[in-house]
Structure 1
Amino acid sequence: MPAVTRTTCAGRPAWLVRTSCSAMLVSVADGGALVLDHWGGDGGALDGGLNGDSYLPHTPWNRPSQAHFLDGVPLAYSVHGDRAFKEPGLVVARQDGSSVSRLTLSEDHVEGDVLRLVFEDPGSGLLVEHRFAAAVEHGIVVRDVRVENRGAQPLRVERIASAVLGLPPARYQSWALTGRWGDEYQLTRRDLMPGKVVLDSRRGFTSHEANPWFALTEAGQDGPVWFGALAWSGNWSIVFETERNDALHVVAGINPFDSAWHLEPGESFRTPPLVCGYADDGLDGAARLMHRYQRDHVLPARHRGTPPPVHYNTWLATSFDVEVGHQVELATRAAELGVELFVVDDGWFGARRDDHAGLGDWVVDPVKFPGGLGELVDEVHRLGMKFGIWLEPEMVNPDSDLHRAHPDWVLHLPDRETTLSRNQLVLNFARDDVREGVVEQVRALLREHRIDFVKWDHNRPYTEVGWPQAPVERRREVWVRHVRGVYEVIARLRAEFPDLMIETCAGGGGRADLGILGVADLAQVSDNTDPSDRLRVQHGFSRAYAPRAMVGWVADAPEPTTGRTSPLEFRFHVAMQGVLGISGDILAWGDDERTRAAGLIAEYKRVRPTIQDGDQHWLVPPSDRGPCAVQYVSRDRDEVVVFVYQVRGVVGEGPRRLRLRGLDAGRRYRRSGDGAVTTGAALMAVGLPSAFPPPEPPGHTEDWRSRVEVWRAVGEESGAVRQEEV
């Protein structure tokens, strides 16, 4: 069946947008409002019921005079000027100060899997185009909005959401990823009551405190989930408004805080997309839809078919004390362990001795590298590894050659003192000369050296955000133009150096979203490398983002952030949930640690394709105490990888069973190691024990236990293999 079809609903013109597992039905009500008549399951049964009365419950009117209002009606977009009193998705002001728009449908276009609905406001010349793009096989609908000024006078866009989503009356719960530095991506649930709940960032970037992802469930229900994620790395806002009849109104897009966009006649503006979907199998099912979509459509295409490499990062071993001889020693040891990428972190450039100076001067320090950076780059390549380097191109220290030459390049206001954070300021990427200057510097570095990988960092929020060089009517565009400028710079560098891989980092996990992941291959999720904390961080991160984009680090013990100590295997098994990375002083590791680490890296490489490209299932979510387990199934269901953890064991607690998911029930699977064979049906119905054997040596703590089990499908020719109870 086609992804998009024209139809009617309750006598109104309507359009049905279908994916493999859901449907979105929109119609135009009297007065021009765009109604979301249905968003959820399909089952192929919607077509037959669309021509009768609307099946959506409407608000009972308090008195007949309110019958034409849209309160309580789920909308697909809300405009200031609609007959509604809920959060608007669009507010556009005219020269006379009026900001009321009255839109009427003028065109509809069905182009393959894409629906475009065009509305116009004759009074202002405003054109509004809604785009619904169905990623059919992934169960995803991507929405965005474009506005254009077709009138004779300028317009000011004061608010423009990427999408509005309305759900019919019910008791809803919202799920969000919240936290702080070192404790990012905590999955939090909130009962939605009458009124508004707002998630947002006003920090200039995605933020550690919240992430532009959400999920919605009905209270007490484990099944249906509605979800969305905004592809934007700047200020963002998601508003949940519960109406008086318990209908839910969701508005998601660029944060209108301190922001506006000037439209001269003939000019247009397009929002970042909102990626949204529906799953009937809970948060885990919603996450798998997002993972598949990101792997196939979001992450840069150049490296989608190549597994991200096991990498070593020097930060926790050297901090700013970078010296070529020591770096060569670290690289040699990393290669012996089986590392595939060696990354030199902060401290290699300019006058960089600490975080007070040098940022913005992307030239090699001749004291630390008297023979030039090429000496280390060549040695790393000779050792069989790729070479990576740390950059923070969006920032500058006042004590730098760049700032002394161009003090006006930073975000600033002429009559306000600028605030330092980490001793640095933010470059204004809204400016053409700033973007060109940064591209020129980074281009020179990449051309001179065979650099395969860049860790692109970002270590402070934005204050005193101003652009005094711009025309007055354009100055509040700086928040949006800056983010677009960052995307542009990275995209230009990727186009010129197509094999370059990029990791996004912002003080750890402060910038991971579908916008930055469109130009970066990987994301750092936290500066906190404590594995028990990371279980919760990675669980939350993976609700929204694919494991192949998630960087995990194995650090030294005790862990530098929390001071806790855990076994090497536990640290590795946690970091292996996505893209395996190692930091810390590996030169101080003993022979036994190095041998075990090399074995764990080799084990990870064997199962890496299933972890990074398979379907993820959290069997037992992490908690402060007790078991935790996460499973990965290859797309062809030939291989299953299960990580089992015990965090702070509970004395006297009996064993539990871990029932696997997503296997082929009729196939048999063999466990690597002991050769035990059982069926997919048994693994899903009976499962595996969560218990661990008694610790060795006697007296060793029950805390921090972990193991990995790998099951691979076997053919009929293996019938002679003994059947064992699992």
Structure 2
Amino acid sequence: MPCSQRREDPMTSLITVNEDLNQFHLTNGRVSMILKVVEGKLINLYTGAAVPDRADFGYLVDDGFRVQATTADEHGELHIEQSRQEFPEYGRGDFRGPAITVLQGNGSRITDFRYAGYRVAPGKPELEGLPATYAVSTPDDTGAETLSIDLVDDLTGLTATLNYTIFRDEPVIARSVRIANHGDEPVAIERIASLNLDLPDDDYEMVEFTGAWAREREPHRQPLHPGVQSVASMWGASSPYFSPNALFARPDTIEDRGEAFSLSFVYSGNFDLHAEVDAYGATRLQLGINPAGFAWRLAPGESFQSPEALLGYTDRGLNALSQTLHRIVLDHLERPRWARRERPILINNWEATYFDFTEEKLLELARLAHRAGIELFVLDDGWFGRGDHARTSDRAGLGDWIANPERLPEGIAGIARKINEIGMRFGLWFEPEMVNRATDLYEAHPDWVIATPGRESAVYRQQYVLNFANPAVVDHIYERMHAILDGANVAYIKWDMNRFITEAYDATRGAEHQGEVFHRYILGVYALYRRLLAAFPDLIIEGCASGGSRFDMGILAYSPQIWTSDDTDAVERLSIQYGTSYFFPVSSMGAHVSITPNHQTGRSESLAMRGSVAMFGTFGYEMDLTRVGEDELDEIARQVAFFKEHAPLLHNGDLYRLRAPYDHRQAAWMVVSADRAHAIVGDYVILGVPNRHKSRLHLRGLDADAMYRVTTAPGPGLGPDDALRGRLGYSAEDEGIGAETTGTATSAESGTDTKAAPITPGVVRSGAELMHIGINDTNIGPDFASRLYLIDRL
């Protein structure tokens, strides 16, 4: 490789190396990261907006103040405590949190990793046993490049390989670390950060996404302060409480302008994400496996691969950063087989029947669903176990994956065939990581449960966690699931996980390996995903962990959609889906129309409101269609037809957040096609306000110079009908929609007549008007009202 290589056109290298100066510049014209080796240490000179390359960025080396310990002589240029390190260590003069801590045989935790070499490779390597982003290669371009930098600790013989992948088209850098033991003695890795980023100042606000079951991922924003502020999980899963994603935004950064970084963990287990501000106002960001309870024994000749972390950047606001992350998920993380492919609209029987069902009840529900145009029938919990171990409540059956013949006389193959004969695909619920005591599995293998010897085990939902750190457990569950899937036409799996890990202990390994339990467990979960998808590549797996308790980029590598929350109340889902959208695309969010009054909140909302919220997700239903009237069934059919027509736009367009729901008054969002020709706007009233002031909804993402026709969505089930609008005392012109056209809804993609109900009158407005003047949405309706707007360029 030449001493210095510069990018001259879009297809040249994304990574420039000056070997004489040990300097590395990663840039794609949207983001730059500049690294340099100084006195053997890898230093981050700059990360942010793209800058032109130059032969020497050495002027960015900051020697700081010499008031603390340093290994350099008094004339050296590196002061370790105030240097922006890429792989800081414990105990060598930097008193901030380290990226690595290694316990050695003599009890020491001191290491000194120094530069030993680099490699640049096209594309993006896989990570052994772990989910990771990938690059799509073409004959002319690999889509990404990867820089690998080796750092060596001579005393222990440890090598740390830092991998950096920069994508050609997105301002995102993927970072991971691999530790190899080339020494003569075993060590224990007690801390390993997948990403460390030192920033020169603390003028940022941390946006973290917190919540609990049924109220997941609400953003909370606060300025950085001296010391440490963090989010973390110790539940054995990413958890509903704290998300393994965060934003670090300048104080003036808002949706459509300003600078921010994003951190995301491609991992589903315990994590630690934190910011540390030192006494000089510098900020250290770290993301990795939670070090609490973690210790990985590394024998000579062995290596350990950290999960991947993603660093995103924007200088165009938070919404642009979200759109970047959405494209990363769809084009570089999810399996290509389903990432941008439309998935079937489903109905799940859970809220319709819970555990109380017969085969005929299921078939009756399926016939009505098919009549409404629904494409996939999902049989939820309660189909398995036999005799005393039959799953008729949450007390038994979990882990015995064999159909209950009293409920399904012909087994899963029989019910799947009958659903297929109705004209629908068939899906099935599993909770493969758990077991009840009242099961054949537990009676045969009580040692397969995670439990600490001599300690009483906690129980939750009458279930225990299987030890997926034990390969024999994973093998058994795979064989049982494979037998069912291989013997029946199952198109979809709902993979649930309703209990966190307590009394963590791996009975198959000795004391020196007990710090590995949590990580080995999630590696076992990933292994089961991979084996099932290898055997059944067309299978759709929807992740579900008590709702959104494992909504993370690790699971999205295997599941193109995740059940966003067990809270199916449309008003609550406005907040949950809004917060989730900061990192995850619409097509990843499992969202269904559920029963009313809602079973989580007791709130009653119109079918229109429930439908118009769920459409901004992977659309489906959780309700008993045998209990709805003909009018409601017809309305469901209209919703299904509308979603089918517009699903490619809803799932592949660019999402714009227009109005946050957190004041409990209104909310709005929209999706715009890549060519800016079409858009759909969801506009919602949460709580009505009497004699309210005028409100205008300002759209975004349109072509300012183009002319657009604006209509409200067809059918009374998707917006207020004329009678309601009349009672509210406003005209079409009041809402900014004039009476220039009427007709039948037409597909924006194909121009074909959908035979839907007549559209409401529409008007023509310029993109500039719609974005700067907006739409008058003062009088959408009372509490829990909604309207969908269709925006089509002429």
> What is the rounded CA distance, in whole Å, between the counterparts of 2:29 and 2:406 in structure 1?
59
Match of 2:695 among 650, 656, 659: 656
Q: Is the contact made by 1:36 and 1:76 (CA closer than 8 Å) also made in structure 2?
A: yes
Q: Is the contact made by 2:70 and 2:93 (CA closer than 8 Å) also made in structure 1?
A: no
| Letter in structure 1 aligned against 2:358 | E
> What is the rounded CA distance, in whole Å, between the counterparts of 2:697 and 2:92 in structure 1?
52
- Once the two structures are TM-superposed, the CA of residue 649 in structure 1 deviates from its matched residue by 1.7
**Corresponding residue number in structure 1 for 2:31:** 22
**Corresponding residue number in structure 2 for 1:708:** 788
**Corresponding residue number in structure 1 for 2:265:** 230
Runs (4 or more) in structure 1 with deviation over 4 Å come to 58-68
- Once the two structures are TM-superposed, the CA of residue 13 in structure 1 deviates from its matched residue by 2.5
**Corresponding residue number in structure 2 for 1:719:** none
- Once the two structures are TM-superposed, the CA of residue 220 in structure 1 deviates from its matched residue by 3.5
**Corresponding residue number in structure 2 for 1:600:** 639
2:140 aligned with 1:101: no
Match of 2:57 among 43, 51, 61: 51
TM-score norm. by structure 2 comes to 0.86
Match of 1:338 among 373, 382, 387: 373
> What is the rounded CA distance, in whole Å, between the counterparts of 2:585 and 2:29 in structure 1?
20
The residue correspondences of 1:199-214 to structure 2 (distance < 5 A) are 199-214=231-246
Match of 2:349 among 297, 314, 320: 314
The residue correspondences of 1:622-661 to structure 2 (distance < 5 A) are 622-661=661-700
Q: Is the contact made by 1:170 and 1:218 (CA closer than 8 Å) also made in structure 2?
A: no
Q: Is the contact made by 1:74 and 1:248 (CA closer than 8 Å) also made in structure 2?
A: no
Q: Is the contact made by 1:455 and 1:503 (CA closer than 8 Å) also made in structure 2?
A: yes
| Letter in structure 1 aligned against 2:194 | S
Deviations 1:656-709 (A, max 9, x none): 22222222223322234334223223222222222235x5xxxxxx11111111
**Corresponding residue number in structure 2 for 1:122:** 154
Deviations 1:72-116 (A, max 9, x none): 433322222443110111011221111111111111112231111
Deviations 1:181-206 (A, max 9, x none): 11111111122110111211001011
Secondary structure at the aligned position of 1:470 is classed as: coil
Q: Is the contact made by 1:624 and 1:647 (CA closer than 8 Å) also made in structure 2?
A: no
**Corresponding residue number in structure 2 for 1:690:** 777
> What is the rounded CA distance, in whole Å, between the counterparts of 2:38 and 2:777 in structure 1?
55
2:298 aligned with 1:263: yes
Deviations 1:28-69 (A, max 9, x none): 222x33222211111xx342484352176x654558989854
Deviations 1:467-505 (A, max 9, x none): 122133223212111101100111101000111100111
> What is the rounded CA distance, in whole Å, between the counterparts of 1:64 and 1:703 in structure 2?
63
> What is the rounded CA distance, in whole Å, between the counterparts of 2:353 and 2:766 in structure 1?
49
Q: Is the contact made by 2:413 and 2:488 (CA closer than 8 Å) also made in structure 1?
A: yes
> What is the rounded CA distance, in whole Å, between the counterparts of 2:216 and 2:41 in structure 1?
38
- Once the two structures are TM-superposed, the CA of residue 613 in structure 1 deviates from its matched residue by 0.9
- Once the two structures are TM-superposed, the CA of residue 628 in structure 1 deviates from its matched residue by 1.4
Deviations 1:15-38 (A, max 9, x none): 1111342111122222x3322221
| Letter in structure 2 aligned against 1:53 | Y
The residue correspondences of 1:66-81 to structure 2 (distance < 5 A) are 69-81=79-91
2:41 aligned with 1:33: yes
| Letter in structure 2 aligned against 1:169 | D
| Letter in structure 2 aligned against 1:36 | N
2:763 aligned with 1:676: yes
Q: Is the contact made by 1:295 and 1:304 (CA closer than 8 Å) also made in structure 2?
A: yes
2:232 aligned with 1:197: no
> What is the rounded CA distance, in whole Å, between the counterparts of 1:584 and 1:535 in structure 2?
19
- Once the two structures are TM-superposed, the CA of residue 125 in structure 1 deviates from its matched residue by 0.2
- Once the two structures are TM-superposed, the CA of residue 305 in structure 1 deviates from its matched residue by 3.7
**Corresponding residue number in structure 2 for 1:724:** none
**Corresponding residue number in structure 1 for 2:590:** 551
Match of 1:163 among 191, 195, 201: 195
The residue correspondences of 1:215-364 to structure 2 (distance < 5 A) are 215-222=247-254, 223-350=258-385, 351-364=390-403
The residue correspondences of 1:381-392 to structure 2 (distance < 5 A) are 381-392=420-431
Q: Is the contact made by 2:15 and 2:27 (CA closer than 8 Å) also made in structure 1?
A: yes
Q: Is the contact made by 2:238 and 2:268 (CA closer than 8 Å) also made in structure 1?
A: yes
Q: Is the contact made by 1:639 and 1:712 (CA closer than 8 Å) also made in structure 2?
A: yes
Q: Is the contact made by 2:649 and 2:671 (CA closer than 8 Å) also made in structure 1?
A: yes
| Letter in structure 1 aligned against 2:764 | V
Deviations 1:259-280 (A, max 9, x none): 1111111110111100111011
Paired positions, count: 701
> What is the rounded CA distance, in whole Å, between the counterparts of 1:480 and 1:411 in structure 2?
14
2:462 aligned with 1:423: yes
The residue correspondences of 1:505-516 to structure 2 (distance < 5 A) are 505-516=544-555
**Corresponding residue number in structure 2 for 1:720:** none
The residue correspondences of 1:466-485 to structure 2 (distance < 5 A) are 466-485=505-524
> What is the rounded CA distance, in whole Å, between the counterparts of 1:218 and 1:7 in structure 2?
32
> What is the rounded CA distance, in whole Å, between the counterparts of 1:34 and 1:83 in structure 2?
15
> What is the rounded CA distance, in whole Å, between the counterparts of 2:29 and 2:698 in structure 1?
27
**Corresponding residue number in structure 2 for 1:83:** 93
Q: Is the contact made by 1:394 and 1:426 (CA closer than 8 Å) also made in structure 2?
A: yes
Structure-2 change in CA distance of 1:82 and 1:670 (3 Å)? farther
| Letter in structure 1 aligned against 2:765 | T
Q: Is the contact made by 2:101 and 2:192 (CA closer than 8 Å) also made in structure 1?
A: yes
Deviates more, 1:209-218 or 1:474-483: 474-483
- Once the two structures are TM-superposed, the CA of residue 600 in structure 1 deviates from its matched residue by 1.3
Deviations 1:381-439 (A, max 9, x none): 12222110100000000111001011111111221111111111111111111011011
- Once the two structures are TM-superposed, the CA of residue 299 in structure 1 deviates from its matched residue by 1.0
**Corresponding residue number in structure 2 for 1:134:** 166
Secondary structure at the aligned position of 1:212 is classed as: strand
Q: Is the contact made by 1:20 and 1:138 (CA closer than 8 Å) also made in structure 2?
A: no
> What is the rounded CA distance, in whole Å, between the counterparts of 2:79 and 2:559 in structure 1?
45
Q: Is the contact made by 1:631 and 1:641 (CA closer than 8 Å) also made in structure 2?
A: yes
| Letter in structure 1 aligned against 2:229 | V
Q: Is the contact made by 1:202 and 1:235 (CA closer than 8 Å) also made in structure 2?
A: yes
| Letter in structure 2 aligned against 1:205 | A
Structure-2 change in CA distance of 1:65 and 1:131 (3 Å)? closer
> What is the rounded CA distance, in whole Å, between the counterparts of 1:344 and 1:467 in structure 2?
33
Q: Is the contact made by 1:344 and 1:389 (CA closer than 8 Å) also made in structure 2?
A: yes
Percent of aligned pairs with the same amino acid:
34
**Corresponding residue number in structure 1 for 2:17:** 6
> What is the rounded CA distance, in whole Å, between the counterparts of 2:506 and 2:604 in structure 1?
48
- Once the two structures are TM-superposed, the CA of residue 117 in structure 1 deviates from its matched residue by 0.4
> What is the rounded CA distance, in whole Å, between the counterparts of 1:469 and 1:170 in structure 2?
46
Q: Is the contact made by 1:501 and 1:521 (CA closer than 8 Å) also made in structure 2?
A: yes
2:83 aligned with 1:92: no
Secondary structure at the aligned position of 2:59 is classed as: coil
Deviations 1:216-268 (A, max 9, x none): 01224431010011011111111210111221111110111111111111110
Q: Which runs of 5 or more residues in structure 2 are unaligned?
A: 1-6, 8-12, 123-144, 712-758
| Letter in structure 2 aligned against 1:691 | T
Structure-2 change in CA distance of 1:493 and 1:668 (3 Å)? same
